[in-house]
Amino acid sequence: MGELLVTFLLIGLALLWVVAWRYQRRFAVGTVVGAFIALLVAWLARPFELEHIPIWLPPLPFALVAVTLFVFGVLAWFWGED
């Protein structure tokens, strides 16, 4: 059952990518680049055991999103349309 679900998920994602390629090529290319980066990170970051969870680890995703949005805001400030 799980293999069938993964197959349908991959087919659905491929169809969505084809639609994105037809209408917004930058989005489609960015999706492929992001997927390759995610695969690389998943391959490099092997599972590990944590006996003690550091205090900074649970809020790390929120901090990364905040820093990313800040960087995009700074880039939009400098590269914005006049």
6-32 pLDDT, tens digit each: 888 889 888 988 988 898 888 888 888
CA nearest neighbour of 35 among 4, 65, 63, 14: 14
Distances (CA, A) of 26 to 7, 20, 31, 32, 57: 26, 9, 8, 10, 33
Alpha helices per DSSP H over 25-59: 25-44
pLDDT value of residue 82: 63
pLDDT value of residue 71: 94
CA terminus-to-terminus distance, the chain:
54
Q: What is the pLDDT of residues 38-70, one digit of tens each?
A: 888 888 887 777 788 888 888 999 999 999 999
Tally of domains in the chain: 1
